[in-house]
Amino acid sequence: MRIHQILPRLWISDRNSASNKRVLGKYEIAEILTVCLDPISWTKQYEHIRYHHIALDDVPMQNILTRLEELLSILEEAISSNRSILVHCEAGISRSAAVCCAYVMRRNSCSTKEALNHLRSSHSCYPNEGFIEQLEIFEKLLWKADKETLEASENYGKWLTVNGKTRQNGRIKGGANKNQRDGDDA
């Protein structure tokens, strides 16, 4: 069982724990936010739980900043309604950790490093390098990621461009695939 409390009413886990009825009941999970490519199968969903799914790939090119306001809104709505929410990806180490880290950063007005240290005090997590870079941009933008703020950000604009090509949906536009690294030619 891999489920850890990050803050009151905010939990993180892997996919298996997010589908385990006993675990979900034990921790009184009322909502689940899935941040991997595939949602939890309807055969493993439970009536009393509200499910959310935002498809994110665990690759450095995946743009999470454009989805961050939506993700954080889901967390804030659940937590402010006194409903425990579980954020999970496949292993509970990268995507879900990046989302929880962003929430901690905004809630506590803290740095990426401070938020990661907070998460790591209760849960082993290692967001990929692209997620870390985006969390650092989020910090510089004073924990904002709305469209206007991102479009006005020079740091975000630089992050979006890799070797003259633009990152889109976990890929580099112009022929690169998701397995290519930032320094590889397209």
User: 72-78, long-range: CB within 8 Å, 24+ apart, which pairs?
Assistant: 72/99, 72/102, 72/103, 72/106, 72/145, 74/31, 74/33, 75/10, 75/33, 75/99, 75/103, 76/103, 78/9, 78/30, 78/31, 78/50
3 CB contacts (<8 Å, ≥6 apart)?
A: 11, 12, 13, 17, 23, 27, 86
Query: What's the pLDDT at 156?
Result: 93
Is 36 annotated in the active site? no
Query: What's the pLDDT at 161?
Result: 85
What is the pTM (predicted TM-score) of this model?
Answer: 0.85
Query: What's the pLDDT at 177?
Result: 44
pLDDT tens digits for range 41-68 = 887 888 899 999 999 999 999 999 999 9
All domains in the chain, ordered by first residue: 3-172 (3.90.190.10)
Query: What's the pLDDT at 164?
Result: 57
